[in-house]
Amino acid sequence: MMLFIAILIGCIVGALIGVNIPMIPYTYSGYLAIAIIAALDSVFGAISSSLQKKFDMKIFISGFFVNAILAMALTYLGQKLNVDIHLAAVVVFVGRMFNNLGTIRRYYVEKITDRKIIAKAEATIKESKKQ
């Protein structure tokens, strides 16, 4: 419960800050986009790992920042080398995001089906007890 309130407040305050922030030069917006993709990937990774009860705060925070910074650094390096590394980064991060989303989806689908099976089993048990 506290967690959701924290996320909500974070969203609102973040949106306000983002709208009022001075404009970022267009040249750097490419780096920023890569950083955002990396951060989002970390967030989805965190959600899926927390569903699997493997969530670790340190790994999440370090992944969040280090992935973003590394992605930016790689993009910079790619520009220096005249290779579109940012494309590779985008592919990797988006692929991982889809993987994580798939994990989350599978978790909830299994949960719902499990519940139904359990309900059915309970119903049959009750009936057998009555008889």
Q: Which residues are at the interface with other proteins (CB under 8 A)?
A: 2-3, 6-7, 9-11, 13-15, 17-19, 21, 23-24, 26-27, 29-30, 32-33, 35-36, 39-40, 43, 57, 61, 64, 79
In the complex with other proteins, which residue's Cβ is closer, 11 or 118?
11
Contacts 24+ apart (CB under 8 A), 103-112: 103/48, 103/51, 103/52, 104/44, 104/47, 104/48, 104/51, 107/48, 107/51, 107/52
In the complex with other proteins, which residue's Cβ is closer, 26 or 131?
26
Structure letter (DSSP) for residue 14: H
Q: How far is the CB of 105 from other proteins (least distance, A)?
A: 22
Question: Side-chain half-sphere of 35: how many Cα atoms within 13 Å?
Answer: 12
Helices (H), the chain: 2-20, 26-51, 57-81, 85-130
Q: Is 71 in contact with 34 (CB distance < 8 Å)?
A: yes
Q: How far is the CB of 25 from other proteins (least distance, A)?
A: 8
In the complex with other proteins, which residue's Cβ is closer, 88 or 109?
88
Q: How far is the CB of 10 from other proteins (least distance, A)?
A: 3
In the complex with other proteins, which residue's Cβ is closer, 29 or 116?
29
Q: How far is the CB of 65 from other proteins (least distance, A)?
A: 9
